[in-house]
Structures are given as C-alpha cells and as structure tokens.
Amino acid sequence: MSDELKVKMEQLEHENKVVRLAAQQWEHLQQVYRQSIERLQLVERELSFSQERMSRALFGGDLAWWDWDYNTGQIFFNENRARLLGYKVNELPQTYGEIVRMIHPDDYESTMAKLQLHLSGAQPNYEAEFRLQSKSGEWRWFFDKGKIVEKDILGKPVRIAGVLIDIHDRKNIENELIVARDTAVAESRAKSNFLASMSHEIYTPMAGVIGMADILKQSKLSQEQEEYLNVIVKSANNLMSILNDIIEFSKLESGKMEFHEKPFSIHQVVEEVTGSFAEKAQEKGIEILSFQDPNIPVEVVGDPSD
C-alpha cells in the first residue's frame, strides 16, 4: 500500500470519527431539547393552573388586582374590577388620571394624601377606603391597598401594584350601627336631661314639705297626729333619697359628675351608711352590724358625699 493511499485512509477514518461524534452530540442535543420542551410544558401547565386558581380566589373574594405604570400613567387590571363596578373590561378607563376622577368628591383628597405618603416613602404601604361610581350611578365602597414594586436607579417609583376589595356591605352595616348608636346616645341624653329636670322640679317642693313637717313636729300633737306626721316625714325622706339617686345617675350619664377632694372620716361615713339602713332592717327583723378595721386612718382624702 502506497504512502499516499495510507494517508487518505487515515484521513477518512478521522473524518468518520468526527461524524460519529457529531451524530452522538446531535442526538444528545435533541434529547436535551426534548427534555427542555417537556419541562417548559410542565411549567406552563403549572403556571396556567396557578393563574386559574388565583383568578378563582380573586373572583370568590371580590378582589381586583391592578398594576400601575407610574411613568406612563397606564393602569392594568383584571376583569374583576370591571365586574365589581358593573362595566365591561373595555369600558373602564385605563389611565391614572381617568380612574382617580371616578372617586367620590368627599373621599378624593384623603385618598390622594394617603397615596402621596406612600409614594414619598413616608408610609411603607398605601391603604385607603373610598367610594367609586358604578355604571348604574351607585356609589360603592372599596378598600384599596398597594405598594411600590419597582424603582429606578434614583429610587423613584416605576411600578405600583395592589388589590381593590369590595367593602360596600360592611360599610353599610357600619353606617347603620353609627346611626343606631347616635340615636341611642341622643335618646339616653334626652332621658337623663328629663330625669334631672323633673327631679330638680320635685326636689324643691319636697324639701319644703320636709321642712314644714319638722316644724310641725315641734308643736303639740296628739299621739295619732304624731304617728301620721312620722309617716309623712318617712315617706318624704324616702322620696328625697330616690330623687338624689336619680340626680346622681343623670350626672353620671351626662359626664357631669364632679368630685371634690377633702379630708373626711371614713368611720363616720360607714356609721352613717349603716344607720341609713337600720330602720328598714329593723322593720324586717334584721340586725345590721358594721366592723371597721382599727388600722384604717382616722381621716382620708376624697369625696364623702359622692
């Protein structure tokens, strides 16, 4: 075999090896490609499932997501936002300027102030409750919450994203409770004022009755007259006690109760309270006794009458 033929055969053998190696590499690349395609399809299916699950959750919870391009002013949102307001998706405005004009005039300034606090970095999140006008013209309450999710190299906001939640039913219940509370407070205040007024009106003539009865007791009376007079004085004192309780109660309800600090004997107060129940207890055959700890100071500071 000539040297020339031998060289050509070696070249062919080398080229054959290169071709076989390339074929093997190509087969490996095809296998890697097929595996990559399969993984990509799996990821796409999982992503589709996750998106579907998220959409169901947002729909079930009456939530609408939004994504605001701060530089262009364009706002992207899902179909829930349109549904909550009674619009079709293509009917809703998609720019910041148009959307904020849908906010109720009474809620506009407070909402913008809260948004600016977040954009300026003063607040970590943006949260606001406001009314938006639906397609039917009804003003519906929503809770809006968002956060800056992207900034430029200077730290300025680029994208802000968040959710819009329907709270209309909750706000209606809150407003009904507020009205009911205010009505109850007004009625209670009117009742307290009426009781206080009537008590004072009765208090003056009753004091006169008791005073005249005390004067009458100093005159000469028969035993029967004295018994009648004692009944009058007892009944008048009981009524005065009731009037005093009503007056004190009305002061408590109206927040006008005043306390006066001064030294007084706690022992004397206990004796007076015990004595005030002694007569009623005696009528029922009950004996009332009081015990005072000797370690209690002779005088304390407080309001002995209240």
Distance (Å, whole) CA 195 – CA 188: 10
Phi, psi of 66 (to 5 degrees): -140, 150
pLDDT tens for each residue of 80-104: 778 888 888 788 888 888 888 899 9
pLDDT tens for each residue of 131-190: 998 888 899 999 999 999 999 888 899 999 988 888 888 888 888 888 888 887 777 777
Tell whether pTM > 0.85. Answer: no
With beta carbons less than 8 A apart as the criterion, state whether 78 and 92 touch: no
pLDDT tens for each residue of 208-256: 777 777 777 777 777 777 777 777 777 777 777 777 777 777 666 666 6
Crossing angle of helices 223-254 and 168-217, rounded to 10°: 150
